[in-house]
Each structure stands twice: as structure tokens, then as C-alpha cells.
Amino acid sequence: MSQGTAAALNGKELFTTNCVSCHALQDDGIGPPLGGITSLLSKDVLTSFITNPGKFIEAGDERAVSLSRRYKLIMPPFDFLKKEEINAILGYIEDETKVHGIKPLIVKKEVTIAPRLAAPVTKSGLQIELEDFVLIPPSSDKMPRTRIANMRPHPSGDGTLYVSDQRGIIHRIENGQVNTFLDIRPLVENYINEPGLGTGLGSFAFHPDYQNNGLIYLTHTEAFKGKKADYEYADSVKVFLQWVVSEWKNNDVKSPVFKGERRELVRINVPGNVHGTQDIGFVPGLSKNDRDYGMLYIGTGDGGSTIGKHPELCHSKNSLLGTIIRIDPLGNNSKNGRYGIPADNPFVNDADPLVRKEIYAYGFRNPHRMSWHMTNGKTMFSTEVGESNFEEINIIQKGGDYGWNVQEGNYGISPKDLKNVYKLPGAETAKTVKPFALYDHIDGNAISGGYVYEGKIDALKDKYIFGDIVNGRIFYVNINKALSDSTVHEMMIVQNGNETSLRKMSGSERVDVRIEYDGFTKEMYVMTKSDGRIRRISKAGFSGNQ
């Protein structure tokens, strides 16, 4: 392989890993097309912009400001990329531009600023202190050093915690020591964790009877090699990758290392590398007599179908894309015979044979995280990562339609124009379930789901605590029995008596934050991919009262 060929392949790989989630070369994506950009701006300017886009917008750069207004978001910083990696990406863009004759996007100056469509998030005066808990070992020599995504407590409540890394590892944390519990990479044929920020080991969940049956459930991505899926679509639409939900049976539940067998439950074809099967879970703390006991909830986004110009693949009860499904993993009455469809699912008696009876709720773009508040009537929360306008917290209703891809937030949207929303006529607003709470892209880029806190820190009780993935701001909504307050507040982080931020603490403009909770110990944790650290909330109080 020549040096030139090797450099080109490296640039393509870096572009695919870091850019294609939001950008294409010729067409609109979440962000603008990148073809031809190197003919408009110098590599030095582009490198500075990629490292810190917000700085250009704050300085009033005309192109950056216009693009941010048009696409209604600020590109997250890629300050973890080395200069030679950015040069490789730009070299790949330049080569592809020449080969395909791509014309650069000429940006018209946006004179007016669109009005805010959601109330701004305001500082509440509530402050939290974070203490270091553990440092997760790096899973790659590439940045970010880890891709930590989910935390689960051991079902026994013994204080042991398990943390997944999207690169394919589940870590076991006991007494401050971190060790590998399960590495799926050598065990799963065609396993991939790139491209895209959501691919890899998506999520995992212990069966509530794990101590007796040893069952763990995982979601992961595989390269498409022609394997037949349980959800497929027309051959005219390319399969980008497959999401798989599988069951792993541990031979010894007391062992610190997994050893056992696995079986596949469901395989889903998706047309893009974003918005996959990124969270699964069981309702916690139920008795075996409860009809929800042992029922596995699985959240899958639209798979990039809408932005990939195939909106017909989601917002349909005939599709598993853009849904939260509910299955009995120990049953067998599904189409493939590998899991059960609960008799009390909302569409189980639908006469249409094409309706997927697994569906519990539908109309989602990216139901990124799920959690339950058990002291408030088994309330199910799901956070929805939005397109260009809103980040949502949804309360999940059985059989509910949440509107994507014809609605975003409380507004209408067209699959042909995902950047702009419009007011809905009254008749349309009654057809879907509206968000419980939301914020817009002036306050953040992508919501990081959370939990209702019920621990020992009085100032945090009865608050649904969540954050923004990119900028690392920590938010909350007060939760009462009537669910009547949907105001989003920001809490501040204090360290050594001084106000700080996760950007400062992690040393990166791109924080990649996740909020996690141990339902047994009632401890809440903040995980940041950028530095691989897990921190624990140690104190909280309103200004002057900590």
C-alpha cells in the first residue's frame, strides 16, 4: 500500500467515524454538507473551527453565525483530534470534492434570528459538588479515551456497579477497583463500534431474576453481511448496519468475570449509522406478581431514516424503527419464536397483520435513555435527542404516538425540511403525546437522560436530573404527583468553593456526559467520556445553604 493510499484511507476512516453522523459531502444532514469546504476556507481556519466552533460564533464570524442560525445548533468541538487527523479529514474531503465535482455550500447571511420556541433554561441557585469515584481504563488509543455509556447496579444491591463502553466492554466496579466483566468483541462476529457516535455496545440490562437465571441483555451493532433481520425493508434502501438485541446467560452469577452462552432475540436493519437501539431496561423493584415483571423495554431510534430521505420507514406501527417495544425475553410467541409478546401490549389485538405487536409506544427520533420513577405510579421517562429545534423529556404512555417525523416538540415539521417547525392546527395537536419538558438548541445540542433522585441529599429529592451530552450542563425538572411542573432549571457545579463546569473538569469542550443512578444505594453519578471519569454527587444545596 502506498503512503498516499494509506493517508487517503485514514482520512476516510476519520471522516466516517467523526463526521458522517451529522454531515454528508453533498446533501444536508444534521449539519451542512462539507464538500468543497476546503476551497472556501484555509486549512488553518478549518482546523481552528473544528477544534472550537463556539469560539467562531462568539466572535461573530459571519459564516459560522449564519450556519448556526440555519441549522439551529452549534457543532460540538472536536478538540480531541490531533492536527494530523484533522488534516487527513480535510484531505479526504478535498479529494472527494475533486472526484465528484462537488460544489461548495455558499452561505447566505442570515440577518434575523429566529424567535425562541422554548423557554430558556435558567440558573436555579442549586449547586452540586462532585467527587471522583473511579477512572475507567482507556479502551483505545484514539480519543475519546473511553466511550462509557451505561451504568447498572448488580441486581443483588451489593454495591457492585457495571459500566459499559461502546467499544465492546462491560467493566465491573467493586471497592474502587475496575476490572473487565465481559468483552464482547472476540465473541460477536462482525461486531463494529464505528462509524457514528451511537454505534457499538448500545446498552445492557440485568434480568430482575439474574441471581437465579444469570441472564443479561445487550444491544450492539454489526456490519451488514447479509444476515436476515427480523425487521427489514425494501431492497432499494441500503442497509447501513444491523442492531441486535441478545441474551447472555452467565454460568456463575457470583463470578467477577462473565462466562457463558448467548442467543439472539431480535435483529433490526437500519439505513444509517445514527439513532439506533441505545437503551434497554426492566422496570425496577417489581414483585413477580406484577404484569410488568421481567418485561424488557427496548428503545430504537429512526435509524437515520428521516434525514436519509426515507421517512416512510418510521412513525409507523408496521416498523420497529422509532419505537419503544416491550417483550417477554423468556417467551416464544413472536414471529421469530425467540421472545414473547405480552398479552397486555397496546396493539396486540390489532387486526392488521403488518402491525408489530411488540410496540409499546412509537413516533421517536432517538429515545436515547429510559428510566422509571416508582414512587409516582410507575412513571416511565424517556429522553428524545432532537433534530434542529428541541431536546425532549417524554413521559411514556402505553400505545402513545410521539409524533416524529411529522412533529418536533409541540410543533409540526416536514420530513422534507427538518430545520424549521410550524404551529400545528388544533385538530393535529390532539393526535400525539406532547413532551413533558423540553429545551431548545440555544441551551444545548443533545439531551442526556436521567433519573428522579430519591437519595439522602434533601436538595435533590424529587428532581428528574439530566444533562446535555455535548456541553455538559446539568439540568433538572421538579417532579410532583400531578406532573404539573415542566420548567427546566440548571444546577451549577462547585469545586473547592468555586463555580466550575464539566468542560473545565474534564479538560474538553466536548464533554459527552451521562447521568447514572444506583437505585439501591440512591447514589447519583456523572460519567464523562472525554476523560473517562465517573464522579459521584456528594453534596447539594442552594447558594449559601450547602
pTM over 0.75? The answer is yes
**Structure-block grid coordinates of residue 391:** 431536546
- Helix or strand (DSSP H, E) at 49: helix 43-51
CA–CA gap between residue 424 and residue 431 (Å, rounded)? 11
Q: Greatest CA span in the chain, whole angstroms?
A: 66
If one counts every other C-beta atom within 10 angstroms of the C-beta of residue 264, the result is 13
Note the pLDDT of residue 111: 55
**Do the beta carbons of residue 374 and residue 362 sit within 8 Å?**
no
Half-sphere exposure of 395 (CA within 13 A, CB side): 17
- Residue 111 neighbours by CB under 8 Å, 6+ apart: none
Note the pLDDT of residue 545: 55
Q: What is the pLDDT along the chain (546 residues), one digit of tens a residue?
A: 334 566 667 888 888 778 887 888 888 878 888 988 999 889 999 999 998 888 888 888 888 888 887 787 778 888 888 899 899 999 999 999 998 998 887 877 765 566 788 999 999 999 999 999 999 999 998 778 899 999 999 999 999 999 999 999 999 999 999 999 999 999 999 999 988 778 999 999 999 999 999 999 999 999 999 999 999 999 999 999 999 999 999 999 999 999 999 999 999 999 998 999 999 999 999 999 999 999 999 999 999 999 999 999 999 999 999 999 999 999 999 999 999 999 999 999 999 999 999 999 999 999 999 999 998 779 999 999 999 899 999 999 999 999 999 999 999 999 999 989 999 887 677 789 999 999 999 999 999 999 999 999 999 999 999 999 999 999 999 999 999 999 999 999 998 889 999 999 999 988 999 999 999 999 999 999 989 999 999 999 998 554
CA–CA gap between residue 499 and residue 511 (Å, rounded)? 17
CA–CA gap between residue 433 and residue 415 (Å, rounded)? 19
Strands 191-192 and 215-223: antiparallel
**Structure-block grid coordinates of residue 338:** 425467540
CA–CA gap between residue 32 and residue 30 (Å, rounded)? 7
CA–CA gap between residue 120 and residue 488 (Å, rounded)? 8
Q: Which long-range contacts (CB under 8 A, 24 or more apart) does 490-493 make?
A: 490/121, 490/122, 490/123, 490/124, 491/124, 491/126, 491/127, 491/128, 491/465, 491/540, 492/123, 492/126, 492/127, 492/128, 493/127, 493/128, 493/129, 493/130
CA-nearest of 187, 251, 244 to 215 is 251
Bridge partners of 370? 382
- Residue 398 neighbours by CB under 8 Å, 6+ apart: 346, 360, 361
Note the pLDDT of residue 2: 39
**Structure-block grid coordinates of residue 138:** 482507556
**Phi, psi values for residue 446, rounded to 5°:** -155, 125
User: How would you class 197 by CB atoms within 10 Å of its CB: exposed for 0-12, middle for 13-18, buried for 19 or more?
Assistant: buried
Residue that has been written with the C-alpha cell 450492539 in this structure: 220
CA–CA gap between residue 332 and residue 215 (Å, rounded)? 16
